[in-house]
Amino acid sequence: MKGHLKERSPGHWAIILDINDPQTGKRRRKWHSFKGTKKEARLECSRLITEMAAGAYVEHDQKSLNEFLDTWERDWAATNVSPKTAERYSQLLKLHIRPTLGAKPMQAIRAQDLNALYTSLRDRLAPRTVGHVHRLLHLVFGHATKWGNIKRNIVGLVDAPKVPPTEAPVLQLTEIPQMFDAVRGRGYSLYPIAVVALGTGMRRGELLALKWKDCDLDGAKLRVEQSLEQTRKSGLRFKEPKSKRGRRTISLSLAVVAELRKHWAAQQEQRLSLGLGGSPPDGLVFADWDGSPFAPDRLSDNFADTMEAAGLPHVTLHTLRHTHASQLIRSGVDILTVSRRLGHATATVTLNVYGHLITTEDKAAEITQAMLTNAGVAQ
């Protein structure tokens, strides 16, 4: 591999590299423009030759970020993440990234462009959403670096937007009876869903994918095997749990078992009245009138409307999951047990969300006092 210089005008150089094309095996030339002294141009020529020899050379590319994103969404996101995650990525790109950075050549985007983007987003978005934008850009530029479109992931040079810690919203003890009164007697089994959600901490999609064959009511246990996901493009689909820990067995209280038995009887009565026959073992516990899956978004809307009418607009189905976890922690259940019950990937996730609820400082002092007293230290 060789290179030489050609002066176009004073201080302006053409760096011409003679290389072998790895695809055709033929010799061809690459031209690079450079501004500076002849000595600086020679150093730049040597640098480019070294990069090519080491396989670290990235050819100058005027492709815009939008063009790269079109390829990335089609060829990577569509096949490597769940449809729901791909949909969320697409929305973040469309609303918050493409309008500001999309038209710029990807190689021309600098750290200051990202800082300016985050500053503008902070004025209209929650800090957590700005954090999502940063992590998505880091993923995208990481792939562009790995695939040879750019030399380095410049997103790594930018500090991640700070997300202030927030406490998971939970129901107050006085609000729980109010919530149950609101859902009792409402359409589509809102009451048994609320009982199971509050009694197990299951996610919305897990509740709607639960099958009777996964419920051992005599043994007071149920098994989470899958989740129901809803996207605009793909509609409804059953999928694996969010993590390996997501597939789990949850022990049930007597109240939850009793409510599931009542729901089973009511479901059979309804199906027989409609001429559908009894529910099969693999039938859904919480299904639409004909046994088909019930759309998660539709359930959330029904629950939200009910809470709004009851004067509890801040309560969502996910609030019941948070309330379940908070009550366990406040009652002294260890964090690993809570994490496994919730199906978190690691106990660290549980600590990050609910760690503020752990209040064992007084107990620690009592244990220390006993230790020192036994050692003969004066009280």
Q: What is the pLDDT of residue 324?
A: 93
Q: What is the pLDDT of residue 72?
A: 95
**In sequence order, what DSSP letters do the residues of 5-38 get, joined into one string?**
EEEEETTEEEEEEEEE-TTT--EEEEEEEEES-H
In the structure encoding, which two tokens stand for residue 25, read together? 């095996």
C-alpha dist (Å) from residue 378 to 313, 369, 370: 55, 10, 11
Q: What is the pLDDT of residue 304?
A: 94
Is there a contact between 235 and 246 (Cβ–Cβ < 8 Å)? no
Q: What is the pLDDT of residue 330?
A: 84
How far is 373 from 365, CA to CA, in rounded Å?
12
Q: What are the DSSP E strand ranges found in the chain?
A: 2-9, 12-20, 27-35, 215-216, 221-224, 227-231, 235-239, 248-251
pTM, entire model? 0.72
> In CATH, what number does 65-157 get?
1.10.150.130
Q: What is the pLDDT of residue 309?
A: 94
Is there a contact between 316 and 322 (Cβ–Cβ < 8 Å)? no
**In sequence order, what DSSP letters do the residues of 338-365 get, joined into one string?**
HHHHHT-SSHHHHHHHHGGG---HHHHH
How far is 285 from 260, CA to CA, in rounded Å?
9
Residue for token pair 């609000």: 175
Q: What is the pLDDT of residue 48?
A: 73
Q: What is the pLDDT of residue 55?
A: 56
The architecture that CATH gives domain 175-357 is Orthogonal Bundle (1.10)
Which parts of the chain sit beneath pLDDT 70? 1, 20-25, 52-61, 187-188, 356-369, 371, 375-376, 378-379
Q: What is the pLDDT of residue 225?
A: 95
Q: What is the pLDDT of residue 152?
A: 84
Contacts of 71 (CB under 8 A, 6+ apart): none
How far is 318 from 326, CA to CA, in rounded Å?
12
Q: What is the pLDDT of residue 277?
A: 86
